[in-house]
Amino acid sequence: MNLLLLITSEDINFLPFMKSIIGAGHSTFIVDKQVGTLIEVISYCKKKNITGVITTQEHLIPKLARETFDRAPTLDDFAGSMFTHADIEFVMIPKLNSVVTQTYGKFLLQRFVSKLTQSNRWYKSTAFTWEVANESTLERLYNEFSSCIAIAIDIETVEENLAITCVGYCGIWISDVGDIRTHTIVIPCSSTYNLTYIGKFNSLPMGKIFQTGKYDISYLARYNVPVINFIWDTAVMFHCWYSELPKDLAFLNSFLVRDARYWKHEASVGFRDERYYLYNAHDCHNTANAFMSWLIEAPEWAKKNYIIEMPLIPICHLAEMTGIKLDNDRRREVKKHWEKVINTESAELNKMLGVTFNVNSSKQVAQLKIIFGCEDIKKGDEKALKKCGDRHALNKFIFDKVLLIRQHRKLVSTYLKDVGLALGDIHDENKQRVLYSLNPYNTDTARLASKEHSFWIGTNIQNQPREEEDRIKEMYVADFGFHFGEADYAQAESRGTGYITGDTGLIIAVESDKDFHSVNASKFFGVPYESIIDPGTGEVIDKTLRDLAKRTNHGANYYMMAKTLLDTMGTEKVLTAKKLLKLPIHFTPIMICEYLLKQFEQTYPVVRIDYPAWMIATVMATRMLISAGGWTRYCFGNPRDNKLNLNSLIAHCPQNLNAYLLNESWLRVFKEVWLIHWQNFKLNAQIHDSILYQYRIGHEYLNDMVKDCMHNPIVVKDIKGISRTMIVPVDVKCGGARWSDCK
DNA sequence: GAGCGAAGCGCC
DNA sequence: AAAGGGCGCTTCGCTC
């Protein structure tokens, strides 16, 4: 076919990539000047017999869409959208520089261009029909929907009072000859009558489809109209296919539906206006179509991933809706404590500097570095400021103070703010709970991610400061009559690395009864194990050397280079290492770090040499990484030419294996403990290698049940094809009325 | 004044 | 040229 590539001057440098993106067999005309009107483009196309236009010219969007916008529409939003004018099809595509700025840039351009060049291969969306339901139509609509095969649901909410404004349902019907038809209704959540019907629709037996439905079902549960048979989630579905791509519904539509057209800007219309319901209907219709397109096109491995991931959703929902009780008095007390400390420290710092200094201001920190002769140190983070401090005793005094104030400000602003949700009597602060969300579809590695709850309150529960002196975990309290328990996997990542790479030295080290980091210290630095740790008492004798081994192991595992290892450890520690290891006097800090990494490499050569090589070969050949649990990751990055891409993939395998095991445990704890003992057991959260829960005092046996659920032997095939069974030991800490008290 | 990206930092 | 992985939240400083 004849194509017009209508681009901007910025795109010109990336034109050479377009040849392979568009593919052979098409005559492509290129225009790189901004066109004034659509007529111009159309007449040009008619002359050249062009039937398809791919364009990056953002200013054309309002003309193509035939609408006016409150805010100028962006290419980011409209990339992948399609329009038709005078029998010519237009597809918006991302800026051509995305070929080099995004790992999946080329892939997406190819995908969008193929809407024109391979149109027959695309799923075509169903016709959009819709209506607002009312008291006179609901019964008939309910009867109609009773015969559909699946329903896509979406709710609209307002933040105030956590209110649902309307609920949309897009039914999917398949005729005897296989034709797919959809129809969408919107039920305003404006009367008891309507709410009753929302409940009835939610209770229909066929499978329900949501986009990030954990959000919707939390509100519907709050309204006591729970959803039956929620088994499809388009965000989960897409994450299971291309975990590295965006997962919002607008993107899914542009990716999965040929005639997709961006609609999210329609959300900003008058509340409960007819157009407000239209927006809701569009969401439902587009969710349904993304769902069907995925079912048709997604490969077998993505569907296998889905079987692994989707069952986590209801368990996460349970944990999210459970939350953790907050001791608000304690929160305020601790907050006051740190505020006082910050005031004192800031006063000292200001006095020394003679100005009011803001430790969080990048500008002011830059000034400070100039004054203290550290202009050459680029960044202003902890590592950099430590380096500034190393230059002079006075510097150390100042920059350490800056870091200390920062650390304490972080506690106050992030972890001690008022995030509790009042339940019942809102004036009784002792009834507050901290909520959070746990999302299986937000990471590349299949770990859960955490952030604030769907109720727009709460916090990420996975990064709460752990040090006792921070006093953060003490404000999280178990419910009355309950204690906390936390069961975690021991040395999960290093163990995984051992089994995945098949480095027998590492497997032996991690499986021995000895302390892993002390074994490493002994191996790396050629000293007897007994000089690191007392074999009789198990006490650490040489803390410094053990710590050095720990840092070296951590750095080397993530494929760190000497310079970064130096930054991480700090010059002081590195020089201590030099002394300790009796390294030649002429060794510079960077040489010392190179030496340390070399020691790791000699100890665990498979990890440091064979594994990266295997990674490059595997991913360059197949783009796929398949874990022992059967999870497949499609990798867009190029690990051969880009070290950061390589690093992320090196980290992926152990991280994913670990996440898989914990997710399996998460399911088992739900099925084997919560379902049976729910009166005496609460499931709180997953924190990457641990499960946090509560058990009723007097029911301590539940700790053992959790431990049993986490005992999941797994056969891991190493990079050479040798299979071994890996069992990760579980440590249980329990008995705390506060999270900080678990021992 | 709202919105956004970058930097910094908490966890594993 | 050189580059430590995976996340989410806050502050700052800038633009619109």
Q: Exposed (0-12), middle (13-18) or buried (19+): which is A382, by Cβ within 10 Å?
A: middle
The phi and psi torsions of A558 (rounded to 5 degrees) equal -95, 15
Q: In the complex, which nucleotide's C1' lies nearest to the CA atom of residue A458?
A: C9
SS3 (DSSP) at A28? strand
User: Does residue A470 lie within 7 Å of nucleic acid chain B, judged by its CB?
Assistant: yes
CA distance to A134, A152, A192, A272, A550, per residue, from A189 (Å): 11, 17, 8, 10, 57
Q: Which residues pair with A166 in a beta bridge?
A: A156, A188
Residue A8 contacts residue A122 (beta carbons within 8 Å): no
Following DSSP, what letter does each residue of A346-410 receive, concatenated?
A: HHHHHHHHTS---TT-HHHHHHHHHHTT-TT----SHHHHHHHHTT-HHHHHHHHHHHHHHHHHH
State the pLDDT at residue A571: 84
User: Does residue A207 lie within 7 Å of nucleic acid chain B, judged by its CB?
Assistant: no
Following DSSP, what letter does each residue of A76-116 receive, concatenated?
A: HHHTT-EEEETTEEEEE---TTHHHHSTTHHHHHHHHHHHH
State the pLDDT at residue A69: 81
Residue closest to B6 C1′ by Cα: A362
> How many angstroms separate the CA atoms of A172 and A182, rounded?
5
Round to a whole number and report the distance in Å from the CA of A553 to the C1' of C2: 22
**Whether the predicted pLDDT of A664 surpasses 60:** yes
CA distance to A58, A115, A445, A489, per residue, from A659 (Å): 41, 36, 8, 11
User: Does residue A403 lie within 7 Å of nucleic acid chain B, judged by its CB?
Assistant: yes
User: Does residue A379 lie within 7 Å of nucleic acid chain B, judged by its CB?
Assistant: yes
Closest C-alpha among A228, A182, A232, A227 to residue A212:
A232
> How many angstroms separate the CA atoms of A241 and A257, rounded?
16
**Whether the predicted pLDDT of A569 surpasses 90:** no
Residues with CB under 7 A from strand C: A 358, 360-364, 409, 413-414, 417, 439, 442-445, 447, 449-452, 459-460, 462-463, 554-555, 558-561, 563-564, 567-568, 642-644, 647-648, 651-652, 655, 688
User: Does residue A467 lie within 7 Å of nucleic acid chain B, judged by its CB?
Assistant: yes
CA distance to A443, A486, A690, per residue, from A318 (Å): 20, 17, 17
Round to a whole number and report the distance in Å from the CA of A304 to the C1' of C9: 33
pLDDT tens figures, A375-424:
888 889 998 998 898 888 899 999 999 999 999 999 999 999 887 766 55
Query: Could you give the dihedral angle defined by the CA atoms of residues A306, A311, A312 and A317, in that order, rounded to the nearest 10 degrees?
Result: 130
State the pLDDT at residue A236: 96
Residue A227 contacts residue A206 (beta carbons within 8 Å): no
Round to a whole number and report the distance in Å from the CA of A543 to the C1' of C12: 39
State the pLDDT at residue A270: 65
Residue A57, token pair as written in the block: 């010219």
Closest C-alpha among A188, A181, A140, A155 to residue A284:
A155
Residue A259, token pair as written in the block: 């005639």
> How many angstroms separate the CA atoms of A613 and A616, rounded?
5
For strand C, give the nucleotides within 7 A of a protein CB: 2-14
Residue closest to B12 C1′ by Cα: A688
**Whether the predicted pLDDT of A579 surpasses 90:** no
What is the pLDDT confidence band of residue A591, given thresholds at 50, 70 and 90? very high
State the pLDDT at residue A272: 66
**Whether the predicted pLDDT of A491 surpasses 70:** yes
Closest C-alpha among A652, A660, A661, A642 to residue A611:
A652
> How many angstroms separate the CA atoms of A545 and A77, rounded?
53
> How many angstroms separate the CA atoms of A743 and A737, rounded?
11
Of all residues in chain A, what percent carry a pLDDT higher than 90?
73
Round to a whole number and report the distance in Å from the CA of A552 to the C1' of C5: 15
Closest C-alpha among A183, A212, A186 to residue A198:
A186
Cα atoms in the Cβ-side hemisphere of radius 13 Å centred on A262: 23
> How many angstroms separate the CA atoms of A331 and A475, rounded?
6
pLDDT tens figures, A420-471:
766 554 456 567 889 999 999 999 999 999 999 998 888 899 999 999 999 9
Please provide the distance, in angstroms rounded to a whole number, between the alpha carbons at the two ends of chain A: 70
State the pLDDT at residue A543: 85
DSSP H or E run through A50:
none
Q: How many CB atoms lie within 10 A of CB A678?
A: 12
State the pLDDT at residue A421: 67
pLDDT tens figures, A189-248:
999 999 999 999 999 999 999 999 999 999 999 999 999 999 999 999 999 999 999 999
**Whether the predicted pLDDT of A162 surpasses 90:** no
Residue A422 contacts residue A228 (beta carbons within 8 Å): no
User: Does residue A362 lie within 7 Å of nucleic acid chain B, judged by its CB?
Assistant: yes
**Whether the predicted pLDDT of A142 surpasses 90:** yes
Q: Which residues pair with A210 in a beta bridge?
A: A233
What is the pLDDT confidence band of residue A74, given thresholds at 50, 70 and 90? confident
pTM of the model: 0.95
pLDDT tens figures, A504-563:
999 999 999 899 999 998 888 888 899 898 888 888 888 888 888 888 898 888 889 998
Q: What is the mean pLDDT of chain A?
A: 92
SS3 (DSSP) at A242? coil
β-strand pairing of A723-726 with A714-717: antiparallel
State the pLDDT at residue A428: 60
Round to a whole number and report the distance in Å from the CA of A361 to the C1' of B1: 21
Round to a whole number and report the distance in Å from the CA of A662 to the C1' of B9: 26
What is the pLDDT confidence band of residue A568, given thresholds at 50, 70 and 90? confident
> How many angstroms separate the CA atoms of A381 and A387, rounded?
10
User: Does residue A460 lie within 7 Å of nucleic acid chain B, judged by its CB?
Assistant: yes
Round to a whole number and report the distance in Å from the CA of A170 to the C1' of B3: 33
β-strand pairing of A681-686 with A476-477: unpaired
Round to a whole number and report the distance in Å from the CA of A240 to the C1' of C7: 18
State the pLDDT at residue A427: 52
> How many angstroms separate the CA atoms of A279 and A263, rounded?
8
Q: In the complex, which nucleotide's C1' lies nearest to the CA atom of residue A460?
A: C8
Amino acid letter, A439: N
**Whether the predicted pLDDT of A160 surpasses 90:** no
> How many angstroms separate the CA atoms of A62 and A85, rounded?
13
User: Does residue A380 lie within 7 Å of nucleic acid chain B, judged by its CB?
Assistant: yes
State the pLDDT at residue A429: 56
Q: In the complex, which nucleotide's C1' lies nearest to the CA atom of residue A360?
A: C11
Task: List CB contacts of A212: < 8 A, sequence separation 6 or more.
Answer: A233, A235, A247, A441
pLDDT tens figures, A597-651:
999 999 999 999 999 999 999 999 999 999 999 999 999 999 999 998 999 999 9
Round to a whole number and report the distance in Å from the CA of A277 to the C1' of C4: 48
